[in-house]
Chains A and B, each alone.
Chain A
Amino acid sequence: MAKKIALLQGNEACAYGALYAGCRFFGGYPITPSTEVAEVMAKELPKNGGKFIQMEDEIAAIASVLGASLTGAKALTASSGPGISLKQELIGYACIAEIPCVIVNVMRGGPSTGMPTGPSQSDIMQARWGTHGDHAAIAVAPASCQEIFSETVRAFNLAETYRMPVQVLLDEINGHMRERIELPEPGDLEIIDRQTPPVSPDQYLPYDPSFGDIPPLAAFGSGYRFHVTGLNKAADGFPTTKAKLVDAEERRQLRKVEANRELIEKNEEHMIEDAEIVIVAIGTISRSARNAVNQLREQGMKVGLFRPITLWPFPERRIAELAGQAKAMIIPEMNLGQMILEVERIVKGACDLHGIGRVDGEPITPSQIMEKIKEVC
């Protein structure tokens, strides 16, 4: 059977990906350049038994998402830099209380109001560290509209599997760009639902470590009455300040991601096998990088592209391997040097690193990348 084809904007593809994943709740607040995600959800959710609500502010939007998720619904919110900044406290709440949800960040320039209609990749570090306290983070950074669809599905799968918030990082360019998409049929892409308790309500503990690092989550209203708090808590969900219990819970929560890196990480490699120069780029800018690689290969230069699709956890093992093979790594990013810090931390001087930063609201072009490579290599 012929595939269903659609011409979709990245933000629309994101919304349809969420619906495909089984998202049944959207709580949002308008912010450029993410609003199309909310607009599609407002139109589509009521048709298929879902709920859409436009809340009074960014904080309320994620609060409603977490409340809805606790009732068992797959839940989504979408925003951009300033809105994500406002959501940070409750991103931490989702981490400590272990409530699955997906947060889309269509990145724009900053800090503060910045450039609402300009592209940016300046929330790379916000996606990792954007809330107080130690916490694990998962973020995906798709490049094309097709991939925005499938990575949004995967973001839900990761959120439900690891019982935590997962961020989808787009930017103003791929969020607003239109591309041809093959819409997957039901069953084409894997859909994962959260694990529910295999024990009776009287035996259920919401953070029971005997189930391993990812305890099953019961739904409010399902007969499992339990307590949820943002305080450090013990396995029974009630607050504790007992050093041993707090330490065990904190470490378990970080382990959920650390111990499952292989399952969470996803990268794409292009002409990397013999590459002496490796470009590390994500999202929109990886497309400029791919073009640069192809042009430089024609000129006989051994250049390749390494593209983290899962941005967080960062692909440490593979980057370290590539650093042993490459003479230099080039890190183009639409900010003034965020991802390069992470690469530097892993590479530890094993090869030269050269960043290309841009924050003027224009994308980094293939020729800009080629010029940089010719200048330094």
Chain B
Amino acid sequence: MSFDYDKYLRPGKLPHIWCPGCGHGIILKGLLRAIDACELNKDNTAIVSGIGCASRLPGYVDFNTLHTAHGRAAAFATGIKMAKPEMNVLVVGGDGDGVAIGGNHFIHACRRNIDMTYVICNNFIYGMTGGQFSPCTPTGDRASTTPYGNPDPVFDISQLAIGAGATFVARSTSFHAAQIDKLIAEGIRHKGMAVIEILDDCPTTYGRRNKFRSVVDMMKRFKEQAVPVAKAEKMSKEELDGKIVTGILHREERPEYCEQYAQVVKTARSL
């Protein structure tokens, strides 16, 4: 039987705002399949976002949804989780929202290892504002604000998350639709800060400026560049140049923040 997405979609809220060929819809479907696989209770689940194309996702889904200000999703989500640790808290957003304007909140949520699942849709561009370069736009690429090529170096979101202390970090692409839900589900089941980076295609504002003739070309690139973690471990640094390592990149057990705070409560009450 095919998956019943309607169970989680708010009636009357589609069509979504995303352009034809955008990968966000693939991620939305993956997210809903993951939520279903983890049997999350809708009443007890919050989905939080910032600003941008990907951040419109919460409006379409039938949970406690919070579309916050640009970059601030992780900080709002931290307040929800701290105040009501029994809730499942998920964050969805883009690369500019998450690691440029929201970079401070992102790294500190990772550092605290607070139990939330952050799905970050990295399409290398600020799509909603018309295609300005983000910290994830490849060096040399064209964006509306890099008409002569992007001089900036690139943030590797997954490595940033690992470095900042996230205890579950995984990466996939919008081509690997069947992998997305499994990685998000693993992230939801993980106790602690889980970051799932999905490399995503924006044909409208990134692809057309960077010699991708079609959405299919962008998808093909993801297919060709993707290397599963197990295979990547046997490859040299040179061989991995220009590749996208996919799968679970990092997993460790470390005390979760709300549990740590529960210890604080115990100590305070025992004095």
Contacts and interface: CB of A to CB of B under 8 A. Distances in A.
Interface of A: 24-25, 27, 43, 46-47, 49, 51, 53, 55-57, 59-60, 63-73, 75, 89-90, 93, 220-223, 225-231, 238-239
Contact of A228 (B42, B66, B75, B104): B66
What interface size band does chain B fall in?
35 or more
Interface in B1-44: 10, 13, 42-44
Contact of B65 (A25, A51, A66, A227): A227
Please indicate which of the listed interface residues A24, A67, A73 has the most CB atoms of chain B within 10 Å of its own CB.
Answer: A67
Interface in B112-133: none
Nearest to A53: B82
Interface string B221-256: 000000000000000000000000000000000000
10 contacts: A46-B267, A47-B268, A56-B75, A56-B108, A60-B104, A67-B75, A93-B69, A225-B62, A227-B65, A238-B13
Contact of A56 (B67, B82, B105): B105
Please indicate which of the listed interface residues B59, B75, B82, B268 has the most CB atoms of chain A within 10 Å of its own CB.
Answer: B75
B68 interface: yes
Contacts of A67: 48, 66, 75-81, 83
B68 to A, nearest CB: 7
Contacts of B65: 225-228
Contact of A68 (B67, B79, B261, B267): B79
Contacts of B58: 227
A220 to B, nearest CB: 4
B265 A46 contact: yes
Q: 10 smallest A-B Cβ distances: which pairs?
A: A67-B79, A64-B79, A63-B75, A68-B83, A60-B75, A46-B268, A56-B108, A67-B76, A229-B67, A68-B79
B59 A90 contact: no
A55 B75 contact: yes
B64 A229 contact: no
B69 A53 contact: no
A220 B87 contact: yes
Contacts of B84: 71, 220-221
Contacts of B188: none
Contacts of A53: 78-79, 82, 261
B155 interface: no
A71 B69 contact: no
A43 B264 CA distance: 10
Given A25-B83, A63-B105, A238-B59, A221 B43 contact: yes
